[in-house]
Structure 1
Amino acid sequence: MLKFSILGALQIRTVSGPAEISGDLQRTLVQTLLVSEGQAVSGESLAEEMWGEAVPDNQANALQAHVSRLRRKLRGLEPDRAASRVTIHPSGYRLTVGEGELDAAEFVRAVRQAEAAFPEDAACTARLLGEALAWWRGPVFGGFAGGTLCQLAGARYEEYRMRAVELRFDAELRLGRHAAVLAELAEAHTNHPLRERFCEQLMIALYCAGRQADALDVFRRMRHLLDVELGIEPSPALRRVEHAILRHDPALAGDARTTLLQLA
């Protein structure tokens, strides 16, 4: 069994340790097949991903040579495997990846599980997402995004990461751990200043920490930024949090597990 990792620089791990994939074209080939998550990719799409506009004249032969090289590499990593992981289909090339073998697919599964969890499962959700977020070793593919297919996949996985961070903060706030996540929330809001959910969560954490003025100041700066950058008003959800803080809504000072449900 191999472990493929793309939540960071591309890695393939075996029972004996990591295996190196050398060369930009080989890395792009592996990454493109991996983000397709078991679906076949046409030869034309693979060639465009690997060479862009500089596709060689002998495109089919060049691609086949790289696919053959990858097949030999993977077979060498799994000498006891009966069939090759890379197979050719009428619709293109396919890399067989089993359940639990691709970190990005496991990460998406964890986020979806957290989204479907009940609010009462906040402790389990916080633990699940904390462990899943620890799988990230840097930007998807280590910043080596390749062509359009890999770039789109990278953006998709990055959005799942942002969703996981939001859900984890929700769970931590429901558990009353506002002080423990305050610094992380401030950093998330600073790094993603137009993402309103982080602003909402930071305001709630500040208020619960006895810093009402700071919470309202965060809202004022967010409202100004939205107006200057996008020409829009804060969302209804963000305004509800501001109004709750202004009127000292008991929900904010009460059971932290229900606060976000009442205000979202």
Structure 2
Amino acid sequence: MDIDVLGTLAVRHKGVSITPTAPKPRQVLALLALRAGQVVAVGALSEELWGSKPPRSSRATLQTYILQLRELITAALENGPGDDAGKRCQAKDVLLTVPGGYLLKGGDGTSDVREFERLAGSGYRAMDAEDYPQAARLLREALELWTGPALADVHTGPHLQTEVKRLEESRLCALDQRVEADLRLGRHRELLAELTVLVNRYPTHESLCGQYMLALYRSGRRGEALDAYQRLRATLVRTLGLEPSPALAKLQRSILMSGPDTLTARPTTGVSVAPVG
């Protein structure tokens, strides 16, 4: 089973797509695929599809969706490559009914989420070892697996929304560390266009703002770096009633008082913010 969710949903068995076109069966498959190899409770699937007030027919309707998925799996088993043993495999052996729920077997297929996590993890270890070229390469490869927002073409209920949020946080963390690695390698000017987009997309993200300020200052644009800090501060105060963190305020003071060669770091990822006085 090959599973792609970092963009549009694509699930293939033996190279043949088993991704349905109808919205609700796609939701069911998406949740099963994200939790491949794990039991997904009937209650969780019902809540995903209909929220806290499912219709009386919800269990029967869910069974219909499972049947539709098994029909797609059957077609993949019949039309895909494989030996005689593979041909004898049935859809119910791939999408199992188990006590309390359903389980989709991932087998030894590919998963873009699993590959992303592997590459990102290796990139973080390279960062810890101060191997910035390796870290930048690995994290860039991890981020290239994303072709758009996670499950971009799937309607998401409460369970998928949680999964999407988790994946997007992981993506943002990897992005933050890849930018940090590039800054450590002196790629300030190359980063400016990308960081300009990012700070507008995430206007309260202090780490990205700090990276942007540092890239601007090292590119000889001191005034713009200070303006970026003031924009972030105004946004935090207006929307959250918070001041920038001490780490970011320290970077601002360093830009005011120091030469560019002395600014070699930026605020750590995930710095906290303090309430306005």
Normalising by the smaller structure, the TM-score range is 0.7 to 0.9
CA contact (8 A) 1:145 1:151 kept: no
User: TM-score, with normalisation over the residues of structure 2?
Assistant: 0.83
Whole-angstrom CA distance in 1 between matches of 2:235 and 2:42: 45
CA contact (8 A) 2:18 2:69 kept: no
**Matching residue of 1:253:** 261
**Matching residue of 2:7:** 8
Query: Structure 1 counterpart of 2:185, which letter?
Result: L
**Matching residue of 1:102:** 111
Whole-angstrom CA distance in 1 between matches of 2:101 and 2:173: 33
Whole-angstrom CA distance in 2 between matches of 1:204 and 1:148: 38
Whole-angstrom CA distance in 1 between matches of 2:129 and 2:262: 15
1:115 paired with 2:124, answer yes
Q: 1:121 to 1:75 in 2, by over 3 A?
A: farther
Which residue among 91, 99, 105 is the counterpart of 1:90? 99
Q: What SS is found at the alignment partner of 2:210?
A: helix
Offset of 1:130 from its aligned partner? Answer: 1.4
CA contact (8 A) 1:174 1:255 kept: no
1:25 paired with 2:20, answer no
Which residue among 220, 241, 247 is the counterpart of 1:237? 247
Whole-angstrom CA distance in 2 between matches of 1:245 and 1:188: 21
CA contact (8 A) 2:214 2:263 kept: no
Q: 1:94 to 1:73 in 2, by over 3 A?
A: same
**Matching residue of 2:134:** 124
Which residue among 203, 207, 211 is the counterpart of 2:213? 203
Q: What SS is found at the alignment partner of 1:202?
A: helix
Whole-angstrom CA distance in 2 between matches of 1:37 and 1:239: 45
| Residues 39-58 of structure 1, C-alpha deviations (whole Å, 9 max, x = no match) | 21111211222234674434
Comparing 195-204 and 53-62, the one that deviates more: 53-62
**Matching residue of 1:189:** 199
CA contact (8 A) 1:12 1:18 kept: yes
Q: What SS is found at the alignment partner of 1:199?
A: helix
Offset of 1:13 from its aligned partner? Answer: 4.0
CA contact (8 A) 2:14 2:77 kept: no
Q: 1:119 to 1:253 in 2, by over 3 A?
A: farther
Offset of 1:20 from its aligned partner? Answer: 4.2
Sequence identity (%):
34
| CA RMSD between the two structures | 2.6
Query: Structure 1 counterpart of 2:45, which letter?
Result: L
Comparing 240-249 and 123-132, the one that deviates more: 240-249
User: TM-score, with normalisation over the residues of structure 1?
Assistant: 0.87
Q: What SS is found at the alignment partner of 2:151?
A: helix
CA contact (8 A) 1:111 1:163 kept: no
**Matching residue of 1:66:** 65
Offset of 1:175 from its aligned partner? Answer: 0.7
Whole-angstrom CA distance in 1 between matches of 2:108 and 2:241: 45
1:156 paired with 2:132, answer no
Aligned residues: 259
**Matching residue of 1:141:** 151
Whole-angstrom CA distance in 1 between matches of 2:255 and 2:108: 45
Whole-angstrom CA distance in 2 between matches of 1:145 and 1:181: 34
Offset of 1:60 from its aligned partner? Answer: 3.0
